[in-house]
Chains A and B, each alone.
Chain A
Amino acid sequence: MEQFDLLVIGAGPGGYSSAIEAAKAGLKVAVFEKDNVGGTCLNVGCIPTKYLLDKALAMDKIRNLTGDGIFKDAGLFSYKKIQAGKDAVVGKLTGGVSALFKANGIQLVKGEAALEKGCKVSCNGSEYEGKNVIIATGSHPFMVPISGVENTIDSTQALSLQQVPKRFCVIGGGVIGLELASAFASFGSDVTVLEMLPDLLPKELPEAVKVLKIAIKKHGLNVITGAKVLSAARNGAEKAVSYEKDGKTETIAADEVLMAIGRKPSLNGIDAKAIGLEIDKKGFISVNDKMQTNLEGVYAIGDVCGGYQLAHAAYAEGEVAVSNILGIAKTLDVSIMPRCIFTIPCFSAVGITAEQAKEQGFDPVVGSFNYQGNGMALAEGASGSVFVIMDRKTKTTLGIQIVGENASEMVSFASSEVANHTTLDQWEQKIVAHPSLSEMVKEAALDAFKLAVHKI
């Protein structure tokens, strides 16, 4: 039986980054992957979605420029070529991960791994033993067993549709649903989003969510909240989604129906009962803040242990797990986890909302700044708003939420301010490059205390 310092099950963002980090620290590492390296994020998640959204954004820009008469006509686009371009980028990135494995001496075992007692893994008939194991098996789309669920597609299938559906119905107004809805709206689909909850993104700042809702509606998304989906029927090529809203049953016709109501942990090869692994009520692997499971030497990171189902959450969790494996005690701080939704326009948030701040005993005050007051935004034709949540008493930064172009880039700047609890004085001393959208983050922070320069 081959001996390793660390066995990693799954080569998604959490798994591959943990493996590389551990290998760089001198550990002997093997990674098991049944599919393509890169996991959901690289193959059927963030990256392909982002590729589609980037082209969608470019097309919106062209439409706007055409509307202004700067472009004479908008021209034609090929969705087939967008798909081909997407596949090329995915291929390049997954190839890059494989090269990193090779360069760091990590052994990649292709096949479905089974975790056994005592940090042992069997794969393709061979046994591997590690001092530690990281479970990073990820998640897969959860399909609610409504009547006619077979007439719906999951996000993986939606990403590789070979033609733009004329009518696109999305069940689930979460991150994945809204992102794909935004992309297809740009490509010309009539998009309807059905969300069961009474409002979108209930955990985020209501002011920011309101701005986002208006913006995505303008972008062409018909969002119906409080809609409980009953069935997805099929008549020839046409599908019909029935849902209940306010006690009434309605039906909408669609050419494709995406079900994006959430993701389930992937536990193939992890027989929790047999090995005594603790699973929480929702079916995710239970971990502590060091990413340790109840089993000695077994860690779990990423989507499989719930929490933020984000690639960068998995990266962060992987770092925590590897540090602890290396004997450096480290815990996960999720309070500074940036949250991005790549809608058009995109949304980002970090830290807490005003409501959460109240619950934690702060006296929150929300400053805001509209993109219309920013030179860069006007030059780019960008629109949106920045919100900064500060504590009235200590004048420290508690949370930042941004809706609008480049929100996902600005959130990194915002994250460090939240992490550092930046005070009003520090905000005032900050010099932000001009012209830039980031200026608005400072302005919004100052506005919390009515000190914004470019706001009446």
Chain B
Amino acid sequence: MIKEIKMPSAGQTTDQATICSVNVKKGDIVKRGDILVEAETDKATLPVESFANGTVIDIKVSEGDTVDAGTVLMVIGDAADAASYKAEAVAPEAAAPAAPAVKEEDEYQPIDKNAAPVKKAEPAVSAAAPNEVKAMPNAKQLAKQNNVDLAKVTSANGGLIKKSDVEEFMKNSSVKVSDDEDVYAVEPQSRMRKAIAARMLQSCNEIPSFQISINIDMTGAIKLKNEVLDAFGVKISYNDIMCKALAVTAKEFPLLNARYENNEIRVCNHTNIGIAVGLDNGLVVPVVKHVDQLSLKDIAAANKANIGKARDGQLLPSDMGCGSVSLSNLGMFDVDEFTAIVNPPESCIFAIGSIRTEPVFKEGVFVPCSKCNVTVSFDHRMIDGSYGAKLLKKFKAYMENPSLLLF
């Protein structure tokens, strides 16, 4: 039986995804669970797995295509299916008119004569039959963005011109070199890059934020970390402890659980905390949900899993965008302190610096003390200065005396 592999829904915010790689070709034998296609949404890379065993009969998408949820990506079946599928496919194609149909968007041109004309498709491509496309859509797009003449690009495998062929051509080509000193290259933006840009701009445009800095004595937290390692052999991070302290603080300061959505302050019943994970090509913020119901051990495990998934590009859209607080920790880069931008629609973001040994004046003498600077950006639409300050005082108390978290 012919099985159609469809694009799964990519999450609540978007039903659109861009195909970033097609891992199989026609005729390949695939097993259940094989990753056939990887699609990139504005939030994550989504692997599309095969739910069936069989042969790839038809591939309906190529790299760079934008697809909606439900779009048939691939057709899988056995040998008999392949024969019958062909028969099905040929009939409508033969009935279709021979003249290449003009695409709806190509049909329109600007009324304003001074406006840039709607670019016509490459003549060679438009003249060719739809099946004989010379270049991958993403290759065409990259070529267009960089004014690269695709006719000059040769395909490495002698077939379709791929994005990598265009990149290679651009690297080798000297067309860009000119006497003009202001030469620049346009960095292609991934969906993630665009999403980050849009979200951060939205934050700056919409959120009246203010910052409060606190200085936490980490002695207690360090002790806890070591004790857990000794007692259970589990390595927990300071982020995990902060998550736990935040969840407990939120019981008294519920606005920590708030999100500003549709002009409403929506206070969640649970504490959902995002951890910013830096990647080579961007940034993701996977969320651990219901932190208030998790033990420190569970929190540590969840964060670890999330970070792993984030680095492997395996996060699902549902793993993100559902928090009310984010933690951004740059301590490992020896950053003393910094401010972060609130991740909308969350109520605040914690910017955590490195743990430094500082002299503290105690009982008449300076003693060394492990200190950590935390700067919190609050959305002033939800949280005022005093509320924020009181909340942080509590948070600081829990961090400095982790045993209180048991209470």
Contact = CB atoms under 8 A, between A and B. Distances in A.
Interface of A: 59, 62-63, 66, 73-81, 164, 188, 220
B108 A188 contact: no
A85 to B, nearest CB: 13
A50 B112 CA distance: 21
B115 A74 contact: yes
Contact of B111 (A59, A80, A81): A59
Q: Which 6 A-B pairs have the closest CB atoms?
A: A76-B108, A74-B112, A74-B111, A78-B107, A78-B108, A80-B107
**B interface secondary structure, majority:** loop
A63 B109 contact: no
Given A77-B111, A80-B102, 19 more contacts: A59-B111, A63-B111, A63-B113, A74-B110, A74-B112, A74-B115, A75-B110, A76-B108, A76-B109, A76-B110, A76-B118, A77-B108, A78-B107, A78-B108, A79-B107, A79-B109, A81-B107, A188-B117, A220-B113
Nearest to B120: A163
Interface of B: 102, 107-113, 115, 117-118
B285 to A, nearest CB: 37
Contacts of A62: 111
Contacts of A73: 112
The residue among A78, A79, A81, A164 with the most chain B CB atoms within 10 A of its own CB is A78
A164 to B, nearest CB: 7
Contacts of B108: 76-78
Contacts of A164: 109
A55 to B, nearest CB: 10
A63 to B, nearest CB: 6
A77 B115 contact: no
Nearest to B117: A188
| Residue among B111, B112, B115, B118 with the highest chain A CB neighbour number at 10 A | B111
A76 B102 contact: no
B104 to A, nearest CB: 9
A78 B103 CA distance: 11
Most buried by A among B110, B113, B117: B113
Given A76-B118, A80-B102, A188 B113 contact: yes
A188 to B, nearest CB: 5
Contacts of B109: 76-79, 164, 188
A286 B117 CA distance: 51
Contacts of B117: 188
A183 to B, nearest CB: 14
Nearest to B104: A78
A42 B107 CA distance: 27
Contacts of A188: 109-110, 113, 117
A63 B112 contact: yes
A78 B113 CA distance: 14
Contacts of A77: 108-111
A73 B110 CA distance: 10
6 contacts: A63-B112, A66-B111, A77-B109, A81-B107, A164-B109, A188-B109
B100 to A, nearest CB: 12
Contacts of B118: 76
Contacts of A79: 107, 109
Contacts of B113: 63, 188, 220
B112 A66 contact: yes
A75 B109 CA distance: 8
A80 B104 CA distance: 10
A81 B106 CA distance: 12
B98 to A, nearest CB: 15
Contacts of A78: 107-109
A82 to B, nearest CB: 11
A80 B108 CA distance: 8
Contacts of A63: 111-113
Contacts of B102: 80
Contacts of B110: 74-77, 188
Contacts of A80: 102, 107
A450 to B, nearest CB: 42
Nearest to B108: A76
A76 B117 CA distance: 10
Contacts of A59: 111
A364 to B, nearest CB: 41
A29 B109 CA distance: 49
- Centre residue among A62, A80, A220 by max chain B CB count within 10 A: A80
Nearest to A220: B113
A114 B109 CA distance: 47
A66 B111 CA distance: 10
Contacts of B115: 74
A56 to B, nearest CB: 10
Contacts of A220: 113
Nearest to B110: A76
Nearest to A76: B108
A220 B111 CA distance: 14
A425 to B, nearest CB: 48
A220 B114 CA distance: 13
Contacts of B111: 59, 62-63, 66, 74-77
A66 B113 CA distance: 12
A198 B143 CA distance: 50
A73 B113 CA distance: 12
A74 B102 CA distance: 22
Nearest to A237: B123
A196 to B, nearest CB: 29
A184 to B, nearest CB: 12
Contacts of A75: 110-111
B338 to A, nearest CB: 41
A291 B386 CA distance: 102
A154 B107 CA distance: 25
Nearest to A190: B113
A81 B102 CA distance: 12
A79 B107 CA distance: 7
A342 to B, nearest CB: 20
A315 B117 CA distance: 44
A203 B136 CA distance: 61
A164 B117 CA distance: 12
Contacts of B112: 63, 66, 73-74
Nearest to A73: B112
A77 B110 CA distance: 6
A63 B113 CA distance: 9
A76 B115 CA distance: 10
Contacts of A74: 110-112, 115
B221 to A, nearest CB: 57
Q: Which of A77, A81, A164 has the most CB of B within 10 A?
A: A77
A74 to B, nearest CB: 4
A437 B112 CA distance: 28
A59 B113 CA distance: 10
Contacts of B107: 78-81
A63 B108 CA distance: 16
Most B Cβ at <10 Å: residue of A63, A74, A76, A80: A76
A66 B118 CA distance: 19
